[in-house]
Structure formats: structure tokens, C-alpha cells
Structure 1
Amino acid sequence: MNNNSLKIPVFIPLIIGIIAISFSSIFVKWSDAPVSVQGMYRLLFTLILMFPFVWKQVRFLKKMTWQEGFLLFLSGTFLALHFLFWMGSLKLTTVASSTILLSLQPVFVMIGAYIAFRERTSKAAIIGMVVAIIGAIMIGWGDIGISIKHIQGDVLSILGTIVVAAHMLIGQKLLRTFPATLYSFSVFFVAVIVFGIYNLTLSIPMTGYPEKEWGIFVLLAIIPTVFGHVLFNWLLKYVTAATISMAILGEPVGATLLAYLFLDESLTLSQWSGGAIVLAGLYYFLQNTRKQNRRSTPAPIKPPVTSGPIVKKG
């Protein structure tokens, strides 16, 4: 990954993405539609928004190998499962409890990145990750319940975290050759098909919802998907999946604050303190990752120095 080819500081699009995905849990809570329907229309409307910008790139798909096609299918399936599990968890527990378990994502991504790409992370960056995870735990600890309903929500959130980590690692590999917008479009298309099959199999109605629900589907497409997932997929061309997953640790902070403002969910001193710790850990991680990238960038090759004019023999 080449951080230096990005024309703007990487933290700017990261912050935009974090704020955008933080709204996702609010919209999901507002909706009364099944999560599989929310996920399907969220991505379907995103495809419609993206099509004018990506249709000229579709010809690139003719050049991909069957291995790349299989990886695209896996990535889209994992994304659909992530939405299904995580959005489902929000129906069973609070926003803080659900988003807290997303803090495990960097752990799964770093393990997967080491296995798949032999990608190493500096000790300083790992310290930043641990600090952010501790802060995220502080945010959700008070809301983690012991009821069966809460436990089911926690399990779904963990499963959603594991599959989205796999989705991001596949994206890191494919985006070495794929245009970012085409990758996002293709993955969303696969996920819509998966959701459609799921809804048909379980006889979940896909029409007949009130205007309020359609408005929420559109908001889910524009804010957390276009300005969140699409933006993060684009950033995978410049930073590692581990960096993106670390940045997503900011979601519990944003989502908990938004839940306090829009859903009347309480916010304790522990959650305020945890939010500050998460931000401190993120800052430390990103600073050390940037320094590591600078050190790993090869120095330009200097032309040989000659003491006099070059004489061509013969």
C-alpha cells in the first residue's frame, strides 16, 4: 500500500467514513423492516447511485480470472452476512453493546493479514490498537446484558465482525488490480443477490413497506454505504485493511453519541471516558502506521556520478 500517493491526509476520508457509518445503527433502529430487506435495498439503491460512474468500467470484468471472480463472490457474500448478522444484533441489544464488539475487527484483520499476506504490524501500532479496544470496551460494558436476548445480539455482532474482516482482506487483495468503484459495485451486486435469495427462501416480503421505510433505505444507501463502505473500499488502495479496521473502531464512539441524541439511549461517564480513549488509541495507531509507511518507502535511485565526460569506445 502506498500512503504517499494519496493527495490529501488519510485522516480526512477516514473521519468522514467513521461519521457516515456511525449513522447506520441509528437508521437500522428507526426501521421496522426485516434486516435482510433493509440490507438488500440499502445496497440496491447504492448500485443505482453508483451505476453512472462505473458502467464504463464493466468491461474490465471480462479480463478477470475465475479466481478473481470467485473472490468477488466470496467478498460480496461475506458483506451480505455482515449486514445480516450485525444489523440483526441491533434488534436484540443497544447500539453501544452491538458496536462494542466491532472493536474485535482489527484483531481478526491483523491475524488474517499476517496469514494471507505476511503483513506485520509494529509494536507501537499494536499498542494503539489495544488502547482503542480498551476504550471501546468501556463504551459498551455497561450495556452488555446477561439475558438470552442480549447474548444472542452479542453473538450476532461477533459473527458480523468476523465476516467483515474477511471481506476487507479480500478487498485488499483484489484492489491491487481492480478499480475501486468497480470492486465496490461488483461486491454490492453479489450481496444484493444473496439477500434476494435469502428473502425468497424464507418468504420474507420485499414490497408493501410504508414511505418511512423507503426513506430509511435511501438514507442507508447514501450515508453509511456511499460515504462509508465505498469510501473505505477506495482507501484500501492506499492503506492496509488493518488501518481501515482500526479507524472503524471510532464507530462505537460516533454511534453511541448519536444513539444518545436520537434514540434517548443513556450515556454514562464510563462511555464518555471510553470514547476519549478510543480516539487517543486511533490517533496513536495512525501516527505510528504513517511513520512505518515512510520508513518502508524505498529511497529514490540516484544516477551514478561521473568524474568527467563519458567516452564511447569504438
Structure 2
Amino acid sequence: MNKPTIHPYVPIIIGVISVSLSAILVKLANAESGVIAFYRMLFSVILMLPVFLMKYTHEIRLLSKRDWGFSAIAGVFLAFHFILWFESLNYTSVASSTVLVTMQPLFAFIGTYLFFKEKISGQTLFAGAVAIVGSVFISWGDFKVSGSALYGDILALIACALITGYLLFGQDVRKRLSLITYTMVVYSISTITLFFYVLLKGESFGPYPTIDWFWFLLLAIVPNLLGHTLFNWSLKWVSTNVISIAILFEPVGAAILAMFIFNEFISSSQIIGGSIVIIGIMMFVVDFNKIGNIFKKKG
């Protein structure tokens, strides 16, 4: 394998900063959660469309009825993930919301255990328990501040469960399609879902001030296309675990940005609880047996 022209950690760092901006851009936009989510996905689809039409349209024929069904479910889950997560930011802080949404690996484990009967190791159980303790710590601290903050935390956790469902239903389809085709199909379904959601709720598609259109476009370009594209590029050179651990620093970056941009105070319960969640998920992602074997070989 040829060496990359730049160190893989450079795009990973840029990717983490990119996804950290997601919550910030949502709070900057002056629109309903469903509308923000709709334009984020719509602009993503529009920006991807030329590349898809030039190189990948033939892959649509590879989709079976089952694939279309799973892709549809994944797209709907992704749509409501964005709705609930964006809505959570109206009630709780960026720090709490992003930490709780980052618990996706734990929800993924629960899903794979229930649906694919994957085995549970002692390390997995302990790591999950640690992450849950951290999330309870955050939620209890927010509840003492206000009931609405706790409500926002609950929305963020449901959003986390939905993004896990999106990944679980999409993983089988993704194996047979290129990243562009799979993303195009699921993002399109998600956009259609969000369109009808906004329509049925009677939310306004516009007009909005120019600055809001700028935030909508940035949401599509920075966290959606730039952030995740850089992570996918880096997978050629580093393991999935490295990416998974890097993504855990999204709430750290988001909380720091929110502190400077929105003057959001980070409470001690958020710092302690967030740290516990991140440690728990790192324990979940890292295979300590492999690390131990490496040190044994070196010894």
C-alpha cells in the first residue's frame, strides 16, 4: 500500500472539527428543527448529485427490494435522528446533547446483540455500564438545573438510538454499493421524509434571511460532506477503532466552541459525566486483549 501524501491523523483532526461544528451551526440557524434538517440533507443531495450522475448511476440496478426496504428505513431513521437531535439543542446545552448523541457505539452493541446475537464480553459489559453511569451523571446535573434540560437530554438519547438504527439497517446494503451511491440513496430518502414532516407540521420552507441559508449550506458541506468524507478517506490508512475514538472528541470540540460562541457555561456534572461517558466508550472500542498481546510480544 502506498503511503498517503499527508499523515492520516491530519484529515482525522479536520474531520473531528468539522463534525463538532454541526451543533453550533444548528443553534446559529433561526428555523425549526425539521426545516434545518431538511435543508441540510437537501443541499447534501444536490452537491453529491453531479458526481453520482457521472459515475455511479449503474449501481442502482444492484439494489434488491430488500435493499430498498432497508435503505428506506435507514433514511427515515436518519431524518428523525436529525429532528430530535436538533430539537434537543433547544432545551439542553451543546455539551450535554453532543456527549449523549456520541453514545452511538453502546446503542450499536445493544442492537447487534438483540438482532445478530453477538456475544457479550466482560469488558463490553463493564464499558457499557461506565458510559451509562456518565450519561446518568449528566442528566441528573441537568435535571437539577431545569426539567427542560433533562427533556433535551432524553431527546438526544433517542436521537442516538435512531442513528444506530440507521447504521444497522444500512450496513448490509452498504457492503454492495459504493459510498457515493449508498449515501445518495439514503440521503434522498431522508430528504423526502423531512419534506413531508415539515409539510405536515406546517413549518415554513422560507423565506429566511440570507445568513440562515448560509448556515443550512454549511451544515451540508462541513459536517455532512467534509467531515464524514475525511473519516472515510482515513479508513484506508488507519483502523476503524482510531476513527471511533477520534469521533468521541466531537463533544469536546463542540462544547469549547459553544462556550466561546454562545457563552454556554459547562457545569461540573457535564465535565465529570462527559468524561465518564468518553472513557466508557473508549473502553468499549479498544480491544485491551490485543494491546496486552502487543506488550507481551515486545517484552
- Shorter-chain TM band: 0.7 to 0.9
- Give the match for residue 117 of structure 1: 116
Which residue of structure 2 aligns with residue 195 of structure 1? 194
* Pairs within 5 Å for 1:151-170: 151-170=150-169
Aligned counterpart in structure 1 of residue 48 of structure 2, from 40, 47, 50:
50
Is the Cα contact below 8 Å between 1:125 and 1:289 reproduced in 2?
no
Establish whether residue 41 from structure 1 lines up as the match of residue 39 from structure 2. Answer: yes
1:52 partner letter: P
What TM-score do the two structures reach when normalised by structure 1? 0.76
How far residue 135 of structure 1 moved from its aligned partner, in angstroms, is 5.3
Q: Normalising by the residue count of structure 2, what TM-score does the alignment of the two structures yield?
A: 0.80
| Counterpart code for 1:102 | V
Q: Shift in Å at residue 205 of structure 1?
A: 1.5
Is the 8 Å Cα contact of residues 136 and 249 (structure 1) preserved in structure 2? no
Q: Distance in 2 between matches of 1:14 and 1:122?
A: 29
- SS of corresponding position for 1:91: coil
Aligned-partner Cα distance in 2 for 1:24–1:131: 26
Give the Cα separation in 1 of the matches to 2:10 and 2:136.
25
Aligned residue identity for 1:33: A
Q: Match for 2:21 among 20, 23, 37?
A: 23
What does the per-residue CA deviation read over 1:203-254, in whole Å, with 9 as the maximum and x for residues that have no partner?
22212100110010011111111133455677899977x9877654433222
Q: Cα gap change, 1:158/1:217 in structure 2, threshold over 3 Å: closer, same or farther?
A: same
Residues of 2 paired with 1:144 and 1:239: CA distance?
A: 38
Q: Indicate if the aligned counterparts of 1:22 and 1:224 stay in contact, CA closer than 8 A.
A: yes
The answer as to whether partners of 1:19 and 1:254 remain within 8 angstroms in 2 is yes
1:277-292 residue pairs with structure 2 within 5 A?
A: 280-281=279-280, 284-288=283-287, 291=290
- Contact map agreement 2:20 2:251 (CA 8 A) in 1: yes
Secondary structure of 1:33's match?
Answer: coil
2:182 pairs with 1:183:
yes
| CA shift for structure 1 position 181 | 1.7
Give the drift of 1:139.
5.8
The answer to whether the 8 A contact 1:19-1:251 is kept is yes
Alignment partners' CA distance in 1, 2:269 and 2:155: 24
- The match for 1:87 is 86
CA contact (8 A) 2:127 2:281 kept: yes
Q: Distance in 2 between matches of 1:192 and 1:234?
A: 25
Q: What's the % identity of the aligned pairs? A: 37
Deviation, structure 1 residue 46: 1.1
Distance 2:138 2:253 in 1: 11
Q: How many pairs align?
A: 290
Letter in 1 for 2:161: I
> Relative to structure 1, is the Cα distance of residues 72 and 11 closer, same or farther in structure 2, using a 3 angstrom cutoff?
farther
Give the match for residue 63 of structure 2: 64
Which letter maps to 2:88? S
Q: SS of the counterpart of 2:193?
A: helix
Quickly say closer, same or farther: Cα 1:9–1:152, change in 2 above 3 A: same
After superposition, give the CA deviation of every residue in 1:115-139 in whole Å (9 maximum; x if it has no partner).
Answer: 3334446544555555555556656
Contact 1:104 1:161 (8 Å CA) reproduced: yes
Counterpart AA for 2:56: Q
Q: In 2 relative to 1, CA 80–274 (structure 1 residues): closer, same or farther, beyond 3 Å?
A: same
Q: Which amino acid aligns with 2:49?
A: F
2-structure distance, mates of 1:234, 1:119: 28
Give the aligned partner of residue 266 of structure 1: 265
2:56 counterpart SS class: helix
Q: Which residue of 2 aligns with 1:310?
A: none
Q: Measured at CA, do residues 149 and 280 of structure 1 come closer, stay the same or move farther in structure 2, by a change above 3 Å? A: closer
Structure 1 letter corresponding to 2:17:
I
Structure 1 residues 31 and 72 mapped into 2: Cα distance closer, same or farther (>3 Å)? same
Pairwise CA RMSD:
3.7
Name structure 2 gaps, 5 residues minimum: 295-299
Equivalent-residue separation in structure 2 for 1:167 and 1:245 (angstroms): 17
State the distance in 1 between where 2:153 and 2:284 align: 26
Q: Aligned in 2, Cα 1:283/1:219: closer, same or farther, shift over 3 Å?
A: same
**CA 1:9–1:65 in 2, change beyond 3 Å: closer, same or farther?**
farther
